[in-house]
Amino acid sequence: MEKKRKLGQVTIFIILAVVIIGVVAGYAYFRYSVTRIPTRFASLENYFLDCIKIRTEEAASLAGMGGGYINPPVFQPGSEEYPTSNHLNFMGDSVPYWFYVSGNGLAKEQVPSNDAIENQLSDYIQDTLILCDFSDFEARGFEINLTIEKVTSTIQQSRIRVNVDGDLVASFENETAVVSSHETEIESKLGKFYNLANRIYNKEMKDYFLETFSLDLLYLYAPTTDSELGCSPKVWYLENISRDLREAFESNLLYLSPTARNLYYRVDITTDEEVRFLYSRDWPTKIYTPNDNGLLVAKPVGTQQGLGILGFCYIPYHFVYDITYPVLIQIYDEDEFFQFPVNVIIKGNKEREPMPGSAKSLDTESVCKHQVTFGEVYTYDVELNPIEADISFKCFSESCHVGTTNIVDGDAVLSSLFPQCVNGFILASKQGYVPSQEMISSNAEFETMLILEKLYELDVNLKANGKTVSSNAIVYFESEFDNRAVYWPDQKTVQLAEGEYNVSVYVYSSASITIPGTKTNKCIDMPRPGVAGILGLTEEKCFDVDVPDQKIDSALVGGGRSVEYFLRDQLSSSGIVDIDVPSLRTPKSMEEIQEIYDQVERNPITLNIK
């Protein structure tokens, strides 16, 4: 009995100990981890939520200016035949194309998904929350520690919701609070503007309304197919035609709008937001037609022997054009902005058709699912040392991964089955090396070897007139086999391989330029309706054009260009590339902006490797 009494007492003590521990733990939990913080900490949490809102507004603004991108795709330059790159330089800002033609003539899309935009918003907010300044609270005696675990953004039609998971730990005197979840939202039309941008883009990809409009301008402003009375050859200068068409695109695209009063200029998209279509004659543009040293010549008919019976001479002509130029589509209101560029493509006086490389016209399984031809691929560096590399096979615009070369008996080799393709390409890639490719017709067994050129990392030291550049700048290293871009000052290293590079530097600085809005009345000759139009009769139509003020807060202030050849030995033994460019004045007008751009294109670069 005594033993049972003692056991009962022990049980009571154990229960009391558990209760006490629970009370202490509960007190600690509600003291140190709360969802509704004490009043003295409320202002601190409100400040942090306001800081999140500011970072979110910045992110939304950057995404709108960048076509949905905060971190744009890697720059890919154009070529002489297809001059547009995958970025449009608009007022010093690089805006990724949603649809463009690459330097090798492939049609490509880079439309960001809604999820991708949300992820970039979240990354930007998380990266910049360190800018939240708690010094005022610390001066009042608060001890503050912030640890961010994850940021999640959700874009809705008229707002952006943000949830920040992370501990905001604050102590004051003998009291401590921890807030682990921070939810807020801002009013924003980013979602609405993005959805509208997709509707406009999908309409262009389906109906080619920009190409149709451009063809009308081509027939109005350039010689195409017609005939005139006369007995002397008629001559046009291609340079003058190109100038007239650029001016026509620039001035007439401004009339396009979903709300245009004239049906001819109305884009069939229902919206209550402002939309405009922009082109600048200075943007990369291709206007080509077969010519004789820059001349278009139409010879008369009726002067030849045996044709005198006609009793008159006439000059028939038919010129066929290939045109590629960018159009920047902007959606805006008084407070917010979204823009994205597309390439307008005319081939042979017709709207473009789906081109090789367009994601919309590919059968992604047509080649890769039939790997039936045996081949062996060897990979080496320039000194013929075997290196393991990833091997892909490309047939037309489709590419599929085949395998990896492995070092066996002193050789890096891949023995595998490949898809059948005439004039396909074997591609080898390895981190730290320039990708290599070799043309192969894989309709029979083959063996090939690829050499990969090593990349060497160098620190970039960018100066303007001998002083380190403190503002933003872009340095391009472009060659026929490799293209690199350094976004100064966030990036200060570059990887280069042996070869000749075109080096271009563009230095930007803060500016304050306002392009005044204009209100003009535009009149053009339009074909008359009915039979009169068929007979070539026209009538004058006039429209009001209202272009609002535009503000520029960043402008080109320096830079230059040069051609440099980098030797392998030079790159392997060096660690720094010094670049010094001329610095110019900060422009104060659009005219000065153009002057500086012209100067930068002519300025030489001083470049040294050490």
Total of domains in the chain = 4
- Which secondary structure element, helix H or strand E, spans residue 96, and what is its range? strand 93-96
Range of the domain at 576: 456-519+545-609
- pLDDT for res 36: 53
| C-alpha neighbours within 13 Å on the C-beta side of residue 513 | 18
For residue 250, the one-letter residue type is E
Task: Examine the fold and report which residue of 338, 361, 384 is the final residue of a domain before the chain moves on.
Answer: 361
pTM > 0.75: yes or no:
no
Task: Examine the fold and report which residue of 187, 206, 227 is the final residue of a domain before the chain moves on.
Answer: 187
Kindly state the tokens that stand for 167: 């501990």
- pLDDT for res 306: 42
Distances in whole angstroms, Cα of residue 455 to Cα of each of 83, 449, 484: 27, 19, 11
Distances in whole angstroms, Cα of residue 62 to Cα of each of 59, 131, 388, 490, 553: 5, 17, 40, 16, 14
- pLDDT for res 596: 79
Phi first, then psi: what are they for 515, rounded to 5°? -90, 110
What are the average pLDDT values for consecutive 10-residue runs of the chain, which has 610 residues? 49 54 46 55 91 95 95 87 88 91 84 94 94 91 91 94 93 88 94 96 93 94 82 77 95 93 92 94 92 78 46 74 95 94 92 54 51 92 93 80 91 92 88 90 91 93 91 86 82 91 87 63 62 60 61 75 92 91 80 76 89
Distance CA 29, CA 36 (A): 13
Judge if 553 and 586 occupy the same domain.
Answer: yes
Name the nearest CA neighbour of 196 among 257, 109, 251, 254: 257
Distance CA 509, CA 515 (A): 18
For residue 538, the one-letter residue type is T
Judge if 478 and 415 occupy the same domain.
Answer: no
- pLDDT for res 516: 62
Name the nearest CA neighbour of 100 among 352, 350, 300, 320: 352
Judge if 253 and 330 occupy the same domain.
Answer: yes
- 498 CB burial (10 A radius; 0-12, 13-18, 19+): buried
- Looking at the domain assignment, is residue 25 inside a domain? no
Judge if 602 and 490 occupy the same domain.
Answer: yes
- pLDDT for res 152: 95
Task: Examine the fold and report which residue of 361, 379, 413 is the final residue of a domain before the chain moves on.
Answer: 361
3-class SS of residue 53: helix
- pLDDT for res 304: 44
Distance CA 334, CA 227 (A): 50
- pLDDT for res 270: 93
